[in-house]
Amino acid sequence: MFKAPENPWLVPFDGSFRRAEVATAPPAKAPGKKACKKQLRARVEELDELQRIFYAHDRHALLLVFQGMDAAGKDSTIRALLQGVNPAGCQVFSFKQPSAEELDHDFLWRSSRRLPERGRIGVFNRSYYEEVLVVRVHPEYLGGQQLPGDVNLETIWQDRYESIRSHEEHLARNGTVVLKFWLNVSREEQRQRFLARLDEPEKNWKFSTGDVRERGFWDDYMQAFEEAVRETSRPWAPWYAIPADNKPYMRLCVADIVVQAMQSLELHYPVAVAGEVAHFDAMRRQLRTEAE
């Protein structure tokens, strides 16, 4: 089974994670903006080549899960990471407010339908984790989920963590590499990004009054993130708490982890067996004969 690459932003698996101990800004010795962009281009080139082998190898799927507060940089990070990768080998899904059909199923159903097949990179922009983040901050949403019996708010979140852990372990046992990124943005940086959406006309379309309203629940969200990340980071489905106040550094950190994870799989192009080689020889002779 896949094991998580070691990294400074790796969330421990022993339940010791505390949000107060992780930074939202890069370390003092982090590379500057230009250096980050240059290194990111190199990682994207590596990822492009790895994805080609990954697709041909056809033994694993890769699932990248992105979670974070509004304006944390999920969309731009996904775009930057995959901008040079063959689009035929990738699939991206964004999970927003669930539909009536989705609410008539268990909370893992709608994302399970979007899992990547072997050989492909799948990206979840938000995910089933919304059910222990947004829904935990707003437990009134549980009233529309058609749940059987009375909801016990003292136990439902632990029950959902257990379901998530089992789900991700099942995926890992069956060849899906799961990497989860919490883009950890500070409240002040989010405020500045919201102001930019208001002040810069080309960013107006990104602004939502609902996003500002949710800032009033900031502490509740941070508590929900801390517990969800702590309870579900495992060697086969690790969380990485990525500093998100500096976008170039954040994107480079994510790319480093993805490339390292794919390299650890020891991928290779399929090797033809003896019978196939003999068949190739016959086909080669036939094609050469046609040219004579």
Return d(Cα 264, Cα 201) in angstroms, integer. Answer: 44
**275: three-class secondary structure by DSSP:** helix
| pLDDT at site 266 | 87
The proportion of the chain whose per-residue pLDDT surpasses 90, expressed as a percent, equals 83
pLDDT (tens digit, 9 = 90+) per residue, 147-180? 998 899 999 999 999 999 999 999 999 999 999 9
Confidence check: pLDDT of 281 > 90: no
Token pair 């992105």 is found at 66
Mean pLDDT, to the nearest integer, of 111-127? Answer: 98
Residues 6+ apart with CB under 8 A from 164: 108, 128, 129, 132, 232
**Cβ atoms of 171 and 237 closer than 8 Å:** yes
| pLDDT at site 207 | 87
- Of 66, 187, 194, residue with least CA distance to 130: 66
Mean pLDDT, to the nearest integer, of 25-43? Answer: 96
Confidence check: pLDDT of 239 > 70: yes
Confidence check: pLDDT of 291 > 80: no
pTM: 0.94
Burial class for 166, CB neighbours closer than 10 Å (0-12, 13-18, 19+):
exposed
Q: How confident is the model at residue 208 (pLDDT cuts 50, 70, 90)?
A: confident
H-assigned helices in 70-113: 74-82, 100-103, 109-112
| pLDDT at site 290 | 85
Mean pLDDT, to the nearest integer, of 54-65? Answer: 96
Return d(Cα 130, Cα 97) in angstroms, integer. Answer: 10
Mean pLDDT, to the nearest integer, of 196-211? Answer: 89
Residue ranges of domains in the chain: 19-290
The proportion of the chain whose per-residue pLDDT surpasses 70, expressed as a percent, equals 99
Return d(Cα 91, Cα 80) in angstroms, integer. Answer: 14
- CATH fold, domain 19-290, is Rossmann fold (3.40.50)
Confidence check: pLDDT of 292 > 70: no
Return d(Cα 143, Cα 135) in angstroms, integer. Answer: 10
Return d(Cα 194, Cα 206) in angstroms, integer. Answer: 9
Least confident of 18-22, 225-229, 272-276: 272-276
